[in-house]
Amino acid sequence: MDQVATLQLESVDLQSSRNNREHHTQEMGVKRLTVRRGQLFYLRLSFSRPFQSQSDHITFVAETGPKPSELLGTRATFFLTRVRPGNVWSASDFTIDSNSLHVSLFTPANAVIGHYILKIEISQGQGHSVTYPLGTFILLFNPWSPEDDVYLPSEILLQEYVMQDYGFVYKGHERFITSWPWNYGQFEEDIIDICFEILNKSLHYLKNPAKDCSQRNDVVYVCRVMSAMINSNDDNGVLQGNWSEDYSEGVSPLEWNGSVAILRQWSARGGQPVKYGQCWVFASVMCTVMRCLGVPTRVVSNFRSAHNVDRNLTIDTYYDRNAEMLSTQKRDKIWNFHVWNECWMIRKDLPPGYNGWQVLDPTPQQTSSGLFCCGPASVKAIREGDVHLAYDTPFVYAEVNADEVIWLLRDGQAQEILAHNTSSIGKEISTKMVGSDQHQSITSSYKYPEGSPEERAVFMKASRKMLGPQRASSPFLDLLESGGLRDEPAQLQLHLARTPEWGQDLQLLLRIRRVPDSTHPQGPIGLLVRFCAQALLHGGGPRKPLWRHTVRVNLDFGKETQRPLLLPYSNYRSKLTDEKLIRVSGIAEVEETGRSMLVLKDISLEPPHLSIEVSERAEVGKALRVHVTLTNTLMVALSSCTMVLEGSGLVNGQITKDLGTLVAGHTLQIQLDLYPTKAGPRQLQVLISSNEVKEIKGYKDIFVTAAGAP
């Protein structure tokens, strides 16, 4: 009997184009094989002769990480079989076509994600084996697979939370929510490599690389590591936070248009943190990274967000008798808004019922297990007050549920409670609406309606768990029970007389109505109302007063009066912070009793608007004329204007143009051509910044047709 020639591998076709399309990774390109776990992919192996299944033995080997090990789950060996054997590594369903072997490979839905090397070992009978490299592939989480912990059973939601490469961040104030366009760009060619580079720079990897890689099958672990690595407080993470408003050594957080430039800069500089980020930048970069890895992710804004360091579920703020909001040395604060992420996953580490959206917060506020990271915390657990469940649920619960106590300070001592607000924190929790540019309130996912019996019951339940049985409620209850809060003899309200515009005087209206109270059920009262206006920082803290005013009112029982107030532009022109938010505070002193009442109004000022138009149909590879128009509506010139354009599939990287000075009242018109590189829905983001206004933003949704499409 003739000796059969040795089987030798001559070529491999990884079929990247077909596989990437079927695994929803074609947007990353088709030069490399990028697949998702728990799903078949296909190879064609060409040999020196026809494959004979009786005598030729092929063993496949897949390896990832620095020290691949079957014990750790970072190495798999599997044989060629006719039928796929379940949720394990396998090569099956093969067909022989002349000298070619077509084979289906399957990766289990709980496999470690990462860069893999694929090899085969060929042997005949009892003879020695020869190893051939087949190539490399990248393995990602698979939200399309029912077996994967990130499975999301809705194609519409998958398109929004995995495939959409642009979106919006919601900023500002609960009553003046502004939408900021953001280029996530998770499918730009090098972003997937940078995502794994971030994981490989983590303290967990540096301490024990093999163990860290072995845990990358667990989405809870990967999310937690990423939330620590997006900030740079413990490690060479991606972004350095800066809330000082001095950004001279880097880029202002307001001037980023998207994540791609940040991630590329971090990688190009060898993992040096990028300067600078604030919460919306941290969360948007985290969204890019997690969507890229295959985890459904969205960006969420919480307006009036508590940072409750001592976990007592109360935040104290202080005013003096002149209505000036006082800075405090306490670390507790109320952010005007705070931005975090939600990632979708099954929580096998928790009791049943806590699957779905989980909060992850990469902004460095507080340490968790020794590192600046936060989450995943189940949104369901937050709503139900189950603050004992991992991870960091008490911290997130306080962010949306803490009570605010406002004190009047006299001679450095807190002497009087001006207000106890049980519903002023955790307002208008918002995310982008699916398939729309509008924002959607998801507050009801985080808590029951404010003031409802369920909401207060959950608050008491969480209080008992967080404060212990001795202090089963908030520390100011003693004062409340001793009559610290009494009914007031008048109601005060501040209204805007007209829509506030940056560059214009601000007109307000004070309304006072005399009502019965236990001290003065009848008769007139005299009020001395002192007003103070201050610019607010992002962390909720005040700048020094920029305007003061005093009003004296005598009010008969049952009567109402109005007083106009004018805050001139000259007072706030050079005093605004990045937030463009002014708090007008008024403290009314009742002359008969010496007691005080508080009235507040926050005013949000928007920068000028720019418009973006495109003149024709967008097609891949063809010039697309873009028109950008900006009118300077301020009373001062905008100097040293620069424009930055960005948009995945429309612009390669960024386009920057110097525009010079834009005189007050004048209009700037810019035309330029783009050459789209990808078909489908795209978004162009435009930023114009100047010395006077750092962020004038706009966007245009553009649908790009394939080259040559009818």
Give per-residue pLDDT as tens, 562-579: 999 999 999 998 899 999
264 & 363 share domain: yes
Report which of 44, 27, 46, 24 is spatially closest to residue 35, judged by C-alpha positions. Answer: 24
The H-assigned helical ranges of 296-411 are 379-384, 393-401
Consecutive H or E run containing 679? none
63 & 198 share domain: no
How many whole angstroms separate alpha carbon 421 and alpha carbon 425?
8
| Mean pLDDT in residue range 589-594 | 90
517 assigned to a ligand binding site: no
- Among 563, 589, 604, which residue terminates a domain? 604
Residue 50 confidence (pLDDT) above 50: yes
21 & 160 share domain: no
626 & 518 share domain: no
Contact by Cβ (8 Å): 47, 28: no
Give per-residue pLDDT as tens, 127-138: 789 999 999 999
23 & 136 share domain: yes
* 349 found inside a domain: yes
* 505 found inside a domain: yes
- Residues with Cβ within 8 Å of 602's Cβ and at least 6 positions away in sequence, in order, are 173, 175, 536, 581, 582, 583, 584
Coil, helix or strand for 704? strand
Residue 476 confidence (pLDDT) above 60: no
162 & 295 share domain: yes
pLDDT for residue 437: 93
* 626 found inside a domain: yes
Number of domains in the chain: 4
* 1 found inside a domain: no
243 & 159 share domain: yes
For residue 669, give Cα distances in angstroms to 276, 662, 696, 698, 700: 30, 11, 15, 14, 16
pTM: 0.95
pLDDT for residue 710: 79
432 & 509 share domain: no
Contact by Cβ (8 Å): 262, 239: yes
Contact by Cβ (8 Å): 500, 604: yes
552 & 626 share domain: no
Average pLDDT of every residue of the chain:
93
| pLDDT cut 90: percent of the chain above it | 84
168 & 113 share domain: no
Beta strand 610-614 with 624-631 is: antiparallel
Tokens of 539: 């962390």
Tokens of 120: 């085969």
Coil, helix or strand for 571? helix
* 167 found inside a domain: yes
How many whole angstroms separate alpha carbon 625 and alpha carbon 657?
16
566 & 626 share domain: no
How many whole angstroms separate alpha carbon 395 and alpha carbon 257?
29
How many whole angstroms separate alpha carbon 610 and alpha carbon 596?
45
403 assigned to a ligand binding site: yes
How many whole angstroms separate alpha carbon 66 and alpha carbon 45?
27
450 assigned to a ligand binding site: yes
Residue 306 confidence (pLDDT) above 90: yes
Domain at 696, CATH number: 2.60.40.10
Average the pLDDT over each of 65-79, 338-352, 455-469, 612-626 and give the range with the smallest value. 455-469
Residue 205 confidence (pLDDT) above 70: yes
Residue 83 confidence (pLDDT) above 50: yes
DSSP secondary structure letters along 229-251: HSB-SSSS-SEEE--SS--TTS-
- Among 604, 628, 647, which residue terminates a domain? 604
How many whole angstroms separate alpha carbon 215 and alpha carbon 111?
10
Give per-residue pLDDT as tens, 420-445: 999 999 999 999 999 999 999 999 99
Domain at 257, CATH number: 3.90.260.10
Interior/surface letters 80-113, b for 16+ CB within 10 angstroms, e for the rest: beeeeeebebbbbbbeeeeebbebebbbbbbbbb
To 5 degrees, how large is the angle CA 108–CA 109–CA 113? 90
455 assigned to a ligand binding site: yes
Radius of gyration of the chain (CA): 30
The catalytic residues are: 279, 338, 361
Residue 474 confidence (pLDDT) above 50: no
* 479 found inside a domain: no
- Residues with Cβ within 8 Å of 87's Cβ and at least 6 positions away in sequence, in order, are 38, 108, 109, 110, 147
Residue 484 confidence (pLDDT) above 70: no
pLDDT for residue 477: 47
- Among 565, 589, 604, which residue terminates a domain? 604
Give the pLDDT band (50/70/90) at residue 469: low
pLDDT for residue 2: 52
Q: Looking at residue 262, what DSSP letter applies?
A: H
* 268 found inside a domain: yes
Consecutive H or E run containing 170? strand 166-173
pLDDT for residue 475: 47
* 149 found inside a domain: no
Domain limits for position 115: 9-140
130 & 254 share domain: no
